[in-house]
Amino acid sequence: MDWYVPKKTNKPKILGTFTIESGKLIVTDPCYDKDEEDLQVLLLNVKNGKWTAYVTHTDEEAVQNLFVYYGEKKPSGRWHDCAQAIAVDSAQAGIFDFDVFQKDETIPYELINTHDIEIDEASSKYYVACCDMTDTDEQAGVVPGGAVSMSGYGDGMYEVKVKYNIFKQVVGVMITFEDEE
């Protein structure tokens, strides 16, 4: 008997690692500049070092959550809701080191540019790198200084949750892409 098993399940899949050096994270749609404060979340007192990114998918294979954690293991403790949601206009969102986000010189590799985006003042090389990562089977990936994924159900407003260590440093961040029905 043949059974249909979805290619992706809601079990977290590791995307890779990236480094945080600024002590600040920006959670945003990569199409925005850093000065769109009411559309994004800025997190301070973030633990510097190597972070690991994970993604989960729904049974319909849409991205359900994008998680990043300090180190290699999920930190214990509960998730805390951020007071503000993030806006998504390009059907993708990510969690990035504030000092690396949108800096073209941090992309040391040749871009695929699957959407043939013209790189100019409006669209950075960093943004195109994010688009290349979300146009994969996983619909997510790691870029220098962060992780990015498709926004599950397209454009809209999405919740951000945070975990802290005993020193009140941010050690985990999650974007939840819930179905807006």
Looking at residue 3, what is its pLDDT? 55
pLDDT tens per residue across span 120-165: 665 688 989 999 999 989 999 999 999 999 998 888 999 999 999 9
Question: Do 115 and 131 contact (CB within 8 A), yes or no?
Answer: yes
Looking at residue 122, what is its pLDDT? 56
pLDDT tens per residue across span 53-111: 999 999 889 999 999 999 988 888 899 999 999 999 999 999 999 999 988 888 877 77
Task: State phi, psi for 13 to the nearest 5 degrees.
Answer: -115, 130
Looking at residue 181, what is its pLDDT? 46
Strand-pairing partners, residue 149, are 93, 140
Go through 139-171 and write b for each residue having 16 or more CB atoms within 10 A of its CB, e for each that does not: bbbbbbbbbbbbbbbeebebbbbbbbeeeeebb
Judging by DSSP bridges, how do beta strands 25-28 and 92-97 pair with one another? antiparallel
Strand-pairing partners, residue 147, are 95, 142
Looking at residue 152, what is its pLDDT? 81
Residue located via tokens 């925005």: 32
- Provide the pLDDT confidence category of residue 4 given band limits of 50, 70 and 90: low
Cα dihedral sign, 107-95-177-30: negative
CA-based nearest residue to 31, from 127, 134, 154, 96? 127
Global pTM reads 0.89
Q: How many CB atoms lie under 10 A from the CB of residue 25? A: 27
Looking at residue 8, what is its pLDDT? 53
